[in-house]
């Protein structure tokens, strides 16, 4: 995990409550720097049924928190537990600050979904410790060939299913993003 990305996230939260999902050893570091950290285990915590949604399996998962309850969310390897777009929406629903995601590969993220979002900014991205200062919408970011090349690699989820890929070729992809507020969007 990119420590610089974590530090940028921590400075962006500004002492507000944080929701942590899926981090293990990093929780201690977060707790030292945050006022209150709420931990949520997507694998074992009971989740609420979303009664307002049409019936689809991925809509049965709803984080049990109010809208904009947290000043930031840090999530590690959570997007593989259902529809990644829906889970990403849930994380963004509960925060009014930055969202920090770490996944095994860029393919873990709902890229088609990101490209359609014009209400979100990607501040930073990292791959295996290499930090990219983005400061642009997801559409702009993923339309750049140099970015696509940077985030393409043989690692990540492929390691789990292909014995021909050495185990030491792992990909660790992180993004730091936020919702664009009306005042940000219109000057």
Q: What is the pLDDT of residue 180?
A: 87
Q: What is the pLDDT of residue 178?
A: 92
Q: Which residues of the chain have pLDDT under 70?
A: 1, 26-28, 31, 35, 44-61, 150-171, 182-187
Burial 5-29 (b: 16+ CB within 10 A, else e): bbebbbebbeebbbbbbbbeebbee
Report the C-alpha dihedral over residues 115, 120, 121, 125, rounded to 10 degrees: -60
- Tokens found for residue 110: 């709902």
Q: What is the pLDDT of residue 1?
A: 59
Q: What is the pLDDT of residue 44?
A: 67
**Predicted TM-score (pTM) of this structure:** 0.78
Q: Taking the domains of the chain in order of start, what are their residue ranges?
A: 3-180
CA atoms within 13 A on the CB side of 95: 31
Residue where the block lists tokens 């259902």: 82
Q: What is the pLDDT of residue 185?
A: 44
Cα–Cα distance measured from residue 166 to residue 61, given in angstroms and rounded to the nearest whole number: 35
Report the CATH fold assignment for 3-180.
Rossmann fold (3.40.50)
Cα–Cα distance measured from residue 88 to residue 20, given in angstroms and rounded to the nearest whole number: 14
């Amino acid at each position: 995990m990119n420590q610089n990305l974590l530090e940028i996230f921590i400075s962006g939260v500004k002492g507000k409550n944080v929701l942590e999902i899926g981090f293990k050893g990093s929780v201690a570091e977060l707790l030292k720097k945050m006022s209150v950290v709420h931990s949520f285990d997507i694998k074992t915590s009971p989740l609420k049924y979303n009664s307002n949604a049409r019936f689809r399996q991925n809509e049965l998962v709803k984080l049990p928190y109010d809208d904009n309850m947290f000043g930031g969310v840090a999530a590690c390897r959570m997007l593989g537990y259902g529809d990644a777009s829906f889970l990403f929406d849930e994380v963004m629903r509960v925060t009014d600050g930055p969202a920090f995601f770490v996944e095994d590969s860029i393919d873990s993220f709902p890229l088609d979904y990101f490209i359609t979002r014009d209400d979100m900014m990607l501040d930073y991205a990292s791959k295996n410790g290499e930090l990219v200062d983005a400061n642009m919408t997801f559409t702009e970011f993923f339309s750049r060939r140099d970015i696509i090349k940077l985030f393409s690699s043989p690692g990540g989820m492929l390691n789990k299913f292909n014995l021909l890929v050495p185990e030491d070729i792992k990909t660790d992809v992180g993004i730091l993003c936020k919702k664009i507020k009306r005042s940000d969007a219109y000057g």
